[in-house]
Chains A and B, each alone.
Chain A
Amino acid sequence: MSTITVGISDLQVAKGDDVLVTYALGSCVGICLYDQVAKIGGLSHIMLPSSTMNANSAQTPMRFADTAIIMLIKKMEAMGASKIRMKAKIAGGAQMFATVTNSSIANIGQRNVQAVKAVLQQQGIQIVADDTGKNYGRTLHFSPSDCVMRISSANRGKWEW
């Protein structure tokens, strides 16, 4: 068993009892995709909703919800996963600073979550667990062996999805 760390604007895949982890999701969103039959899982940590608003997006496809999710699906398929069997668990997209009046800063988490949900729906992947929004950071662990998404927070404890 090994632990694979997924950085910001990064994505990784894992098989069997390997564990994928991404630390301190704030307004970013972590997307776990998995094929329970093939025991293949993937984790993507996106920062922004859409690659279409950014001139340099071609160099950083793992940063955007639209391009990163497609990339993750392809990477998992290349390992032998089947897209029809894929399901998703998502977490993050918090509003860290509750009293911010600047709406473009206040909504960054929410915009990310909406974009992730739209891309997953368009790809026909069902979201079976959704731990998004609220106002705190989350660290996410996911292993394709049991397909459980484990969340730990700084001052609200730990829980599972």
Chain B
Amino acid sequence: MALKDYNDLNDIQLDVLREIGNIGSGNAATSLSSMLAQPVQIQVPKISILDYEDVTSALGGPETMIVGLMLSLEDDVSGMLMFLLEKEFAHMTLSTLLCQDIDSFDEIDEMGISAMQEIGNIMAASYVNAISSLTGMTINISVPSVCVDMAGAILSVPAIHYANISDKIIFIENKFSNEAENAVSHVLMIPDVDSLEKIMTNLGIEI
């Protein structure tokens, strides 16, 4: 049976996605740790398949301010990858990288945005590497585009772009912590449905 949208995924296929998310989050913690030159712990990530409206409420409501990083996936897998970073995450990384003590999003300057972009790049590579090394597929990522705004407004972009495919997305919640702080980041993996099929086939999962 061919996959039509994310609703068609069965339990085994969902487990595969969870495992990809697990490995990706582990990789991301390692890269974050080397970038910040300090130990970074990560809790076991929570991975769920959610409706967009549930994603917004999981983030604290549509008007919650958040940093959004959007990248597109190209080559063997096409689709979109999105990072949503909460204020504490921006604080934790920017205070270490740029020695800036940021209390609100208004204070993030161009240098800060550029640093966030680099963090997005490195974390995205962690997830993509997880898929790539498990499946043997070649995946390229675009330069991330950054937006600091209300969560609902940021999420409207993937919601609209993929509205004809699915109302659901793969939502990964990561809790990072260093010595001083805890920070939460969210990853939305939105592979095109035929790419998802390819990933499953390459892993030997029946569709």
Contact = CB atoms under 8 A, between A and B. Distances in A.
Interface of A: 7-8, 23-28, 47-48, 53-54, 63, 94, 96-102, 104-105, 108, 112, 135-139, 154-155
B106 A108 contact: no
B149 A47 contact: no
B163 A154 contact: no
A24 B152 contact: yes
Contact of A8 (B105, B143, B145, B156): B156
Given A23-B61, A47-B159, A100-B70, 13 more contacts: A8-B53, A8-B159, A23-B62, A26-B154, A27-B156, A27-B160, A28-B160, A99-B146, A108-B157, A136-B153, A154-B153, A155-B105, A155-B149
Given A7-B53, A24-B63, A102-B72, A96 B149 contact: yes
Nearest to B105: A155
Contacts of A53: 164
B161 A137 contact: no
B40 interface: no
B105 A25 contact: no
B157 A105 contact: yes
Contacts of A63: 163
B145 A28 contact: no
Contact of B154 (A47, A96, A102): A96
The 7 A-B residue pairs whose C-beta atoms are closest, nearest first, are A137-B153, A24-B152, A26-B153, A26-B156, A24-B62, A97-B145, A23-B62
15 contacts: A8-B152, A8-B156, A8-B159, A24-B62, A24-B152, A24-B156, A26-B156, A48-B163, A96-B154, A97-B68, A98-B145, A102-B142, A135-B147, A138-B153, A154-B148
B105 A96 contact: no
Contact of B161 (A25, A94, A105): A105
Contacts of A7: 53
Q: Is the interface of B mostly helix, strand, loop or mixed?
A: mixed
A102 B148 CA distance: 20
A105 B151 CA distance: 17
B105 A97 contact: no
A1 to B, nearest CB: 21
Contacts of A102: 72, 142
B105 to A, nearest CB: 7
A94 B145 contact: no
Contacts of B188: none
Contacts of B61: 23
A96 B68 contact: yes
A105 B142 CA distance: 13
A47 B156 contact: yes
B160 A108 contact: yes
A137 B150 contact: yes
Nearest to B149: A137
B163 A47 contact: yes
